Amino acid sequence: MSDLDRRDFLRRTGGGLAALALAAEAAGAEMLLPDPLPRRARAQDAKLAIGVLGTGGRGRAALDELATVESARVVAVCDVDEGRLRGGRRRAPEAATYTEVAPFLAHEGLQAVVICTPTHLHRPAVTAALAYGLHVYCEAPLATTIGDARAIAQASADAAQEGRVCAAGFTARANPLYRRTRELYATGGLVRVLHAHVHDHRRTSWRALAPDPQLATARNWRLDPAISLGLAGERAAHGFDYLHWATGGTPERIQGLGQLLHWEDGRSTPDTVQLQAPLSGGGTWSADLTLANSWGGEQVHVHGVGGTVRAVGTNAWLFKESDAPIQGWEVYAARIEQLGAEGLVLLANATKLAAQEKLHAGVGLEHSPHWFALDDFVGSCLAGEVPACTPTDALPATVMAIAAAQAVRDGATVAIDPADWQLG
């Protein structure tokens, strides 16, 4: 269903306004867009034995999510930092714990590893996990250098040839609502994308406290410009991946501005960043990221000739222009007023909900986007299928993130070369 084009869609829905009027009388579920993310088939009792490498914030979040993924069983956790490992142990008290990577990867019965180390350590972690014959989920962005990112993607592609499942943690691709918006773009819902904006606001120092200076340096890797892509790379990468994958856009170059406006605590990395990225073929992306203001949190706006999509993790809305083409499903959609405009609520499983007459109860996802990404990985491993986001898929946005970080660091415009994400 992911490649549903406009012609197919109109044929399925009867096309045009006359058909729409009839369908409105019948309240036919056929008028709704197809469900975008069928859950992967998996044997009822099948369980995937998983290890989580890295139990900092992202690793602990992964443990929380995996605990409610039906086919997942966390059997081992590893972190070289004992304090971080305690947090992991609390979340997976029945799992074996390790402070060294090799014995962790050799844990008896381990089938898959979720890699949540700092970004600059992804490459050795992925390489080692693949060498142990494991399925791998690697957090995103893939790496902090194009060389490392390409190496991860190539090694993962090679391993996939041998039946290994390799996934990357750009969660939008497994997010049922974001998949739904992608189909909206593909079926002409916005006619043409003009401008897309990544908004990532949070109020946090991004610091971690540690009992000793050595651990403090390791835990605060995100604030070290020598090893981190900073806000531009670590955060904007997720928005860029969504936009590249969902709308098909590719920036020609990225211009960056980074400033340290609030957290003057000895750091040198910007706490506030703006990015501008003109697209090949017209249109632009922009990104606005800060650690000093939390308004709006994390969201993406895609503005097109036909309307605007606002996607906020577990919710998404379409604000249509009054003269935009009607697709049909809008008749049944719940509506909400936001900032003076009426938005159509996008649902992930509209057909099923319509059949149950629960369309209005289905607003918002039942799990976090992170959960859907991990559930997709687990399902892919058990079914032997390709996951929603492979490391090869994640390569373009990683390249863009690296360019964005460079643009901010140098205060310059950095060209994007699509050859950087072509594997040989």
Binding site for another protein (CB under 8 A): 57, 61, 64, 67-70, 83, 86-87, 90-94, 204-205, 207-211, 265-266, 314, 363-368, 371
Phi and psi angles of residue 87, each rounded to the nearest 5 degrees, phi first: -60, -40
Cα–Cα distance between 23 and 18 in angstroms, integer? 9
Pick between residue 139 and residue 375 the one whose CB is nearest to another protein.
375
Instruction: Compute the least distance from the CB of residue 266 to another protein, in Å.
Output: 7
Counting Cβ atoms within 10 Å, is residue 342 exposed (0-12), middle (13-18) or buried (19+)?
Answer: exposed
Instruction: Compute the least distance from the CB of residue 199 to another protein, in Å.
Output: 20
Q: What is each CA distance from 350 to 176, 224, 269, 360, 363, in whole angstroms?
A: 11, 45, 44, 10, 10
Instruction: Compute the least distance from the CB of residue 68 to another protein, in Å.
Output: 5
Pick between residue 120 and residue 367 the one whose CB is nearest to another protein.
367
Instruction: Compute the least distance from the CB of residue 204 to another protein, in Å.
Output: 5
**DSSP structure class, residue 120:** G
Pick between residue 266 and residue 340 the one whose CB is nearest to another protein.
266
Pick between residue 57 and residue 281 the one whose CB is nearest to another protein.
57
Instruction: Compute the least distance from the CB of residue 303 to another protein, in Å.
Output: 27
**DSSP structure class, residue 292:** B
Count CA atoms closer than 13 A to 359's CA, side-chain side.
20
Instruction: Compute the least distance from the CB of residue 74 to another protein, in Å.
Output: 9
Pick between residue 93 and residue 424 the one whose CB is nearest to another protein.
93
Pick between residue 382 and residue 404 the one whose CB is nearest to another protein.
382
Pick between residue 90 and residue 335 the one whose CB is nearest to another protein.
90
Q: SS3 for 303?
A: strand
Q: What is each CA distance from 8 to 12, 20, 172, in whole angstroms?
A: 6, 16, 24
170 Cβ contact partners less than 8 Å away, ≥ 6 residues apart:
140, 237, 238, 241, 242, 245, 373, 389, 393, 394, 397
Cα–Cα distance between 246 and 393 in angstroms, integer? 12
Instruction: Compute the least distance from the CB of residue 215 to another protein, in Å.
Output: 10
Share of the chain residues as helix, strand and coil, in percent rounded to the nearest 5: 40, 20, 40
